[in-house]
Structure 1
Amino acid sequence: MDDVETRELRYFVAVAEELHFGRAAQRLGIAQPPLSRAIRLLERRMGVTLLDRTSRAVHLTPPGEVLLTEARRALDAVEAAIRRTRKAARTTPRLTLALKPGGDAGLLRTILDRYAASPGAVPVDLAFRVGERAAMVRDGRADLALLHRPQNDLTGLDSDDLHTEDQVVLLPEGHRLAERATVSMADLHGEPMPRWPEARPGVTGHPVTDSNQLLHLIQLGRLIAVVPESVGEYLPPGLISRPVLDADPATLVLAWSQTSTSREVAAFVRAAVAG
């Protein structure tokens, strides 16, 4: 079989995510007929049907589901290789750490100070993101990220534990559980929960993309959320937190790419875990 081009994978991912050739073509900035021809050619070359097409809808076939997962990984790897190669050409190395606001359990300043005092330390840029921190490390936009286990998907990443804490549930005032001193996971069964873009596989819930959106939805009574205890210490009016006695502890981890060979990354990890 001829080699599949990254362009073809990008075309397929766009169609597979949009499930609509017109929207996918608009997203890619090309006309629809050449996009349709490219997908048909890809199917012929691979010898499989990737998409079921009708006059009303487009659906992924089982082989199409597999290719969507693998194509995303392949495109991320290509982008990461390009970004890391360009970073290697910099005359002045830098590190980029991805994190979400308030997601450092109060440890970041100490870590940064400890790293800055280490031999060969380089400048560290902070990239505040919600929902794409792990993806930023995988595709090379960031060198490291602060994530939580078991909440986040750590596929393709190495990590070291920094801090473990209990979890609480965030509730709107007036919720049926608001008068409880503590709750259990069974008490939360059936309640609407959020799902972050970087959640581990198998997690379901209402899609959320940033912390302000989540807090607003909780205030409106549309969601509740189980979060690390430190997050529940700074809540806006209208929200309360209650300990969840049997929730799995949340562990803050420092994560980096499994393929990283950066001496700067290794030095930052050593500084972070030294305490």
Structure 2
Amino acid sequence: MAELETRELEYFVAVAEELHFGRAATRLAIAQPALSKAVRRLESRLGTTLLHRSSRQVALTPAGEALLTHGRHALNAVGAAAEKARRAGDRQGRLRLVIKAGGDANLLSGILAAYARRPDARQVDVLFGGATDRADHVRDGRADAALLYVPFDDTTGLHHETLAVEGRVAILPPGHRLASRPEITLADLAQEALPRWKGVRWTGAPEGRPGPEVEDGAVLLDMIRLGRTVAVLPRSLALPARPGLVYRPVADAARSALVVAWAQDDRRPLVASFVAAAVEAAEEAEEADGVVSGAAGRGPAAPPETAGRP
């Protein structure tokens, strides 16, 4: 059976993604003839055609599409293994936490303080991810832990502990037909267009009526102000209220959970200590201001059949 080398996969994936040998060669910083020869050699070893070539275009064959899908996973796995090995050998033991800007339910300061009090505490590097990629940071080794919102973020391959559970708030443009109501329901939103988050298939729209594609919170708020969409977000992501927008609680929206997540195969004391500190900080916040968290907030997270995405 033919064996693939990491470099061969890198070359093929670059060509498959660019569908152009010249651009792929530039991306890889190698000569185009060498790249073309490498791909042909790979096809010969596999005994199948991966690319249809013509003077005008490059297209993937079914075999090429399959190799692109699995090749990406393989390269990601190799990269994750190398990163995790490097991190495991890091004697300084710095911990990397990835969060969404503003996506900590006001718990981050308390979490960092609780962790700093522990005798085994190490430096924490806080990384800021996008609306949809924070779990990937943990899966591929770029981060040791993440603050995620369940059920919105994909926690496949991760363990997590619930820190806070909260209701959801609808954000509406001024003059919207629902803006005068003290609270609204999901049924009220059934005909509204809700945003599609880039890279995520599920939109959360109650009737499957997706609105414009957005990449981050700033774009989302602009789209709402323009009347192109409305959004249903966890309360901690929706508040404090921004000028020129209307905020209303959604009475029957399933509650969402803020969780601290880490890789299922990561059993390092460094990570376990940080998770314990995060849970401790959430419990202290619950006692201080009534936020539903800790043991009171644990259990099944809200199902993804309702509305919104952070």
Please give the TM-score of this superposition, normalised by the length of structure 1: 0.84
8 Å CA contact 2:138, 2:144 repeated in 1: yes
- Taking the aligned partners of 2:20 and 2:54, their CA distance within structure 1 comes to 11
User: After the TM superposition, which of the residue ranges 142-151 and 245-254 deviates more from structure 2?
Assistant: 245-254
- Report SS of the residue matched to 2:262: strand
- Taking the aligned partners of 2:48 and 2:116, their CA distance within structure 1 comes to 53
Matched, 1:129 2:135: no
- Structure 2 spans left out of the alignment, 5+ residues: 204-209, 284-310
- CA 1:31/1:262 → structure 2, altered by over 3 Å: closer, same or farther? same
Following superposition, the deviation at residue 112 of structure 1 comes to 1.8
- Taking the aligned partners of 1:271 and 1:241, their CA distance within structure 2 comes to 33
8 Å CA contact 1:194, 1:214 repeated in 2: no
- Structure 1 spans left out of the alignment, 5+ residues: none
- Taking the aligned partners of 1:152 and 1:195, their CA distance within structure 2 comes to 11
8 Å CA contact 1:177, 1:183 repeated in 2: no
Tell me the residue number matched to 2:299.
none
Matched, 1:261 2:263: no
How big is the alpha-carbon RMSD for the aligned residues of Structure 1 and Structure 2? 2.8
Tell me the residue number matched to 1:193.
195
- Taking the aligned partners of 1:243 and 1:50, their CA distance within structure 2 comes to 53
Percent identity over the alignment? 51
8 Å CA contact 2:144, 2:263 repeated in 1: yes
8 Å CA contact 1:8, 1:42 repeated in 2: yes
Tell me the residue number matched to 2:169.
168
- Taking the aligned partners of 1:54 and 1:259, their CA distance within structure 2 comes to 46
- Taking the aligned partners of 2:39 and 2:175, their CA distance within structure 1 comes to 53
Tell me the residue number matched to 1:220.
226
- CA 1:185/1:84 → structure 2, altered by over 3 Å: closer, same or farther? farther
- CA 1:205/1:173 → structure 2, altered by over 3 Å: closer, same or farther? closer
- Taking the aligned partners of 1:43 and 1:106, their CA distance within structure 2 comes to 53
- CA 1:168/1:42 → structure 2, altered by over 3 Å: closer, same or farther? farther
Following superposition, the deviation at residue 32 of structure 1 comes to 4.0
8 Å CA contact 2:2, 2:45 repeated in 1: yes
Following superposition, the deviation at residue 38 of structure 1 comes to 3.4
Matched, 1:251 2:251: no
Following superposition, the deviation at residue 105 of structure 1 comes to 0.9
Structure number with greater Rg is 2
- Report SS of the residue matched to 1:231: helix
Tell me the residue number matched to 1:208.
214
- Taking the aligned partners of 1:55 and 1:248, their CA distance within structure 2 comes to 55
Tell me the residue number matched to 1:183.
185
8 Å CA contact 1:185, 1:246 repeated in 2: no
- Taking the aligned partners of 1:45 and 1:205, their CA distance within structure 2 comes to 46
Following superposition, the deviation at residue 60 of structure 1 comes to 4.6
Following superposition, the deviation at residue 37 of structure 1 comes to 3.9
Following superposition, the deviation at residue 268 of structure 1 comes to 1.0
Tell me the residue number matched to 1:120.
120
Of the candidates 229, 232, 237, which is equivalent to residue 235 of structure 2? 229
Q: Deviations over 1:93-137 (max 9, x none)?
A: 110100011101122222222222223111111112224322221
Q: Which amino acid aligns with 1:85?
A: A
Tell me the residue number matched to 2:288.
none
Tell me the residue number matched to 1:146.
147
